[in-house]
Amino acid sequence: MSLTLAKVEEVAPDQGSLSAARKLLNPRSWPVIAGSDAGLVWGECQGSGSQPYRVVISENDLGYNCTCPSRKFPCKHALALMWMRAEGRDVTTQTPPDWVNDWLARRRVAGARSSAPNKAEEKPKASIATALEPETAVVDPKAQARAAAQRERNRAEREAAILAGMEELDLWILDQLERGLAGFQSVAREQCGLAARRLVDAKASGLASRIEQLPAALFGLPEALRTDFLIEKLGELHLFAEAYRRQAELPEALKADLRLMVGWTMSREELLAYPQAQRVRDRWMVLAATQEIQPDKLRRIETWLARLGDADGARFAVLMDFVPVSVGAVGKTYSAGESFEAELLFYPSSAPLRAIIAQQFGSMTKESRWQAPPDDVSGALDRYEASLGARPWLGDWPIAVRNAVVGGSFEELVLSDSKTALPIKSKEDEALLPLIGIEGIDAFGLWDGRRLDLKFAETPLGRWLPG
């Protein structure tokens, strides 16, 4: 995909980075600039240090790397290089230097990796480089066995701790029930903080995080919805506890999902090696890219994807990345409206949604139009309920509706067809207002069971995105 200034604005983490990048557009700041046919552009930018910073960008997927110590991503040097390319500045075509190839080899995007020469294949059988490579460590079977046993002991200890934590969680919920949930709001922060700390001690960090986020979610709701919300959330916590105790009786996918929710992790490598993980290769379109800062000081970046072509039915996926807040602002890698062909690998779940890109094929392109699967509002709710039945702790769930209209009052907007209406989270987003009254909308949003967070819409007036 060719770079545009609009795209550069999107990936920029903040205004300061753009302004700083603008000052680097002068060719004199770049003693070296070159590119390859594979969409790579690299250069050396003279900064304040003695050595110039080495900057490389991939025009195909907007990957970038820079040797500067900036804590903004992308930094001003990568932005400046993108900006120059967006303006069509020519670069001489060259073979990528080693430092560019090294970066490519380390990248996770498989599509981009394929453009880098395979070092192993290119290397001659005997060379100084090979001699300089560290020798393979000698394997000590006893040490390995000791390590495996230690891992198993740790695992068993953690299982026991979590089970104990679940018992404490039940007691905590019972306490709240005995006192009555009507008074819970006044002590929600204190009580949830207490329960979260206990669950952290019990090594159930996933559940701890859910409880920690509960007060914010509760107070973000209108008063009238809070009773049901509390009952649902506290009931769901018991559901987790009970399901964890009886996980042996659960179907494999639900069990794996449960363990992930409770706090067990599955690395990318483990997921790639997980035999039951669902793989779906198709063309995927980005419908939304969101960022949220979690209480654990991690920025959660979600990229919501829809499979293009609904021959096999509607299919959505979400890519999740976590970046420490301390590294500063992060620009968008994906923008709504872009699409790419990829094989997605879904985390095990009875309602699979979270995925990683196992392999990307080709570069990203812009889609001029997206058509929602042929569901009306009722049909979309049917799908939601089917997923909720399969996964009782279902969170925000993607909903797509064809041929809908946004209506209602300024304070309470709804997305509706001729029969059913879904309340929209609208108060904080005035960008929704111009949608009112436009008929024939293909809409996509995240449904939390009460309100729809509208994220994307194709309308007769063109594409709508949140402000």
Partner 1 sequence: MTAVLDAAAVETLTRRVMLGTGRQSAPVQKAFGELIAPDDPKAALKALALLGQHSRFRRPARAAPTSAEPLFPDERSIVPEAARPLLLSLLSGKARDLMDAVPPTGAVPLAVADTMERRRLRLHPFDLPRLDDFVKAHADQLGASAVAWTQRHATTTTSVDTYSFVETIDETNWTHGRPSRRAAFIRNLRATDAVRARALVEGVFASEQAPVRLVLVKALSQNLSPADQPFLEGLAKDRAPTVREAAESLLARLPGSQQAAKQLLECLNRIKRASAGVLRRRTALQLDYPATVKEWQRETWAISTFGTILLDDFAKGLDLSIDEVVTAAADDQILSTVLAVQASQARRYDLLTRLVRERAANAWIAMVQSDDVEIVDPAAWSAAAIQPDLWTEMFGDPLIRLYAKLRMPLPAPTAERLLASKAWRDVLGKAEQDMPAPIMFSTIVTLVPPSLRGALRMELAALSTEFNVRALTAMTLLDVLEAA
Size of the site for partner 1 (CB under 8 A): 72
According to CB under 8 A, which one of 187, 231, 293, 327 is a site residue for partner 1? Answer: 231
E-state strands within 13-101 = 32-35, 40-45, 53-58, 63-66, 92-93
Q: Does 83 bind partner 1 (CB under 8 A)?
A: yes
Using CB under 8 A as the binding rule, whether residue 174 contacts partner 1 is answered as: yes
Beta strands in 128-278 (DSSP E): none
- Beta carbons within 10 angstroms of residue 434's beta carbon: 12
DSSP code of residue 453: E
Q: Are 432 and 423 within 8 A, CB to CB?
A: no
CB of 77 to partner 1, least distance (A): 16
Query: Which part of the chain contacts partner 1 (CB under 8 A), choosing from 61-69, 96-104, 148-156, 232-240?
Result: 232-240
Site for partner 1 in 378-437 (CB under 8 A): 381, 385, 388, 392, 405-408, 410-411, 414, 416-423, 430-431, 433-437
Q: What does the alpha-carbon distance between residue 82 and residue 22 come to, in Å, rounded to a whole number?
A: 11
Binders of partner 1 among residues 438 to 457 (CB under 8 A) are: 438-439, 449-450
- Applying CB under 8 A, the span of 81-89, 129-137, 272-280, 306-314 interacting with partner 1 comes to 81-89
- Interface pick for partner 1 out of 102, 168, 170, 341 (rule CB under 8 A): 170
Contact call for residues 11 and 74 (beta carbons, < 8 A): yes
Contacts of 81 (CB under 8 A, 6+ apart): 33, 41, 42, 43, 45, 55, 57, 64
Q: How far is the CB of 87 from partner 1 (least distance, A)?
A: 6
Q: Of the ranges 173-181, 273-281, 296-304, 324-332, which one interacts with partner 1 (CB under 8 A)?
A: 173-181
Stretch that binds partner 1, among 107-115, 155-163, 223-231, 327-335 (CB under 8 A): 223-231
Nearest to 73 by CA among 424, 357, 326: 326
Strands (E), 89-217: 92-93
Question: Do residues 342 and 281 lie in contact, with contact meaning Cβ atoms separated by under 8 Å?
Answer: yes
Q: State which of residues 94, 213, 227, 359 lies at the interface with partner 1 (CB under 8 A).
A: 227
CB of 108 to partner 1, least distance (A): 28
- Quote the least distance from Cβ 301 to partner 1, whole Å: 18
Q: What is the dihedral of CA 252, 258, 261, 264, to 10 degrees?
A: -70
Distance in Å, CB of 314 to partner 1, minimum: 19
- Give the nearer residue to partner 1 in terms of CB position, either 100 or 457: 457
Residue 364 neighbours by CB distance under 10 Å: 23
Q: Which is nearer to partner 1, 98 or 249 (CB)?
A: 249
Q: Is 465 exposed, middle or buried (0-12, 13-18, 19+ CB in 10 A)?
A: middle
Residue of 110, 239, 298, 390 interacting with partner 1 (CB under 8 A) = 239
Handedness of CA 82, 85, 86, 87 (dihedral sign): positive
Of 173 and 221, CB closest to partner 1:
173
Place of tokens 């111009």: 434
CA separation, residue 373 to residues 118, 201, 297, 444 (Å): 41, 45, 36, 10
Which of the ranges 55-63, 226-234, 301-309, 334-342 carries the binding residues for partner 1, by CB under 8 A? 226-234
The smaller minimum CB distance to partner 1, of residues 97 and 423, is found at 423
8-state DSSP, 436: B
> Which of 49, 117, 220, 235 touches partner 1 by CB under 8 A?
235
Comparing CB distances to partner 1, the nearer of 193 and 423 is 423
> Could you tell me the two tokens for 360?
């990307």
Instruction: Please state the closest distance from residue 308 (CB atom) to partner 1, in A.
Output: 22
- The residue length of the chain stands at 467
Residue 242 engages partner 1 in binding (rule: CB under 8 A): yes
Nearer to partner 1 by Cβ, of 56 and 166: the residue is: 166
Greatest C-alpha distance within the chain: 75
Residues 21-40 that bind partner 1 (CB under 8 A): 22-23, 25-26
What are the start-end ranges of the E strands in 230-384? 279-293, 298-307, 316-324, 338-346, 354-366
User: Considering the complex, what minimum distance in angstroms separates the CB of residue 63 from partner 1?
Assistant: 22
Q: Which of 110, 181, 250, 260 binds partner 1 (CB under 8 A)?
A: 181
Pick from 268, 290, 251: which is nearest to 398 by CA?
290
Query: At closest approach, how far in Å is the CB of 282 from partner 1?
Result: 29
- Distance of closest approach, residue 379 Cβ to partner 1, in angstroms: 13
Which is nearer to partner 1, 19 or 371 (by Cβ)? 19
Q: Which one among 45, 207, 234, 358 touches partner 1, defined by CB under 8 A?
A: 234
Helix axes 184-201, 205-219, angle to 10 degrees: 160
Token pair, residue 253, equals 């996918």
Question: What binding mask, one character per residue, do residues 92-111 give for partner 1 by CB under 8 A, x or -?
Answer: --------------------
